[in-house]
Amino acid sequence: MAVDDVPRLGCGRSIDRIWATIDQPPSPHEEKCEQCQSARERLKKLTEATRSLRESDLHNTSLKPRLSVKNAIMNVARAEIRRSRRIALHGKENGTTEISEQALSSVIRFAATAIPGIHARRCHIEIRSGGNDPSGEDRPSGNTATAANEGAHLIINLRVAAAPSVEIPRTVDSLRQRISNAITACVGISAGTINITVEDLYDV
Amino acid sequence: MSEQPVQGQVITSQLIASLAARTALETPGVLRLEPTIQGFLARLGPAALQNLRNPGSQNGTYRHDGVTATISDGTARIHLDIATDIAYTALNVAETVKHRVRESISHTGLTPGRVDISILAIEPQPRTKLS
């Protein structure tokens, strides 16, 4: 009974190993071993044939997915991105409610579009538990703290670019107020801390 | 011949998933269910899905776009991935969905278990959907 089913050359090298390194220069052993050299030559032809078939498939219209399949794949891909990190909003015996960071970010961005002279950029959200947690550590999504619990609150870190003409302190205050109102109205929780960083100025 | 009654499962997890999806979509403020990779593979064919399933998921769990239903010991558990309308308060929408789904399940004779909701998107309603 064969102990090793991997096909090997007379010198003991496995064909798979040579195939795996076919795109690389030959090793010192392969430079000297006639069996390895012969195998490499033959496998190179197989590599070229494989490459040629792959190129052919890329341009073969009959192998292209239908538009509906492509759209379905893109919908799944977009949804996967939206999933991102989750923030627990509500937890009861009859079920939990959580929100993705992306969904919360979209509310914040939507609120920011209402402020003239401000472009929202990166947005990062954390949920911090209340005074019951002596460690005071930030809790990422999926932990027991929920944004709707008393004591737990969101920390929103938003980076924006501002037009040079705007009065930054006043504009940022109104942006903060706008975001706070939007989160309460659109999500149903209090906004907690909203840190805004004006990281750039842009030309109007 | 044996005279023992044959046990049949009339209410399947697929039916419960369908019921939960329809109930969610009929709730004001829900724009759509969000598709999942497993739901997409289920549409492509059972063979594709088989590769991702573990043996435990086959008894009583059904996944489709944005909804997972599990029936165990007469109790139905649901997980829904939804997108909500920005004009509504998402947390309230989720609570209404939970309430309605549990009510729908109770009409089938099963016991409603946990209904977990993930809000994956909050967006303005598309213009074409305005009534």
Contacts of B115 in chain A (CB under 8 A): 94-95
A85 to chain B: nearest residue by CA? B120
Please state, rounded to an integer, the average pLDDT across all residues of chain A.
82
Contact A90 B95 (CB under 8 A): yes
Q: What are the pLDDT digits (tens) for A2-57?
A: 455 667 888 888 888 888 898 889 999 988 888 888 889 889 988 998 888 888 88
Name the more confident of A204 and A163.
A163
Q: Which range among A62-66, A166-170, A199-203 shows the weakest confidence by mean pLDDT?
A: A62-66
**A153-162 and A193-201 as β-strands: parallel, antiparallel, unpaired?**
parallel
What pLDDT does residue A134 have? Answer: 41
Q: Does residue A46 belong to the interface with chain B, where contact is any CB pair within 8 Å?
A: no
B92 to chain A: nearest residue by CA? A188
Would you give per-residue pLDDT tens digits along chain B (131 residues)?
556 665 555 788 889 999 999 999 999 999 999 876 666 666 666 555 554 554 334 457 787 778 999 998 889 999 999 999 999 999 999 999 999 999 999 999 999 999 999 999 899 988 754 44
Q: Please compute, for residue B126, the number of CA atoms within 13 A of its CA located in the half-sphere on the CB side.
A: 6
Quick check: A140 pLDDT over 50? no
Contact B90 A99 (CB under 8 A): yes
Q: Give the span between the Cα atoms of A159 and A123, in whole angstroms.
A: 6
**B75-85 and B111-123 as β-strands: parallel, antiparallel, unpaired?**
parallel
- Provide the ipTM: 0.78
Contact B117 A98 (CB under 8 A): yes
Enter the pTM of the model: 0.68
Contact B120 A102 (CB under 8 A): yes
Gap between the terminal Cα atoms of chain B: 61
CATH class of this structure's domain B13-125:
alpha beta
Per-residue 3-state assignment (H helix, E strand, C coil) for A100-125:
EHHHHHHHHHHHHCCCCCEEEEEEEE
Quick check: A114 pLDDT over 70? yes
What pLDDT does residue A15 have? Answer: 85
Delimit the domains of chain B by residue range. Answer: 13-125
Name the more confident of A123 and A143.
A123
Contact A102 B121 (CB under 8 A): yes
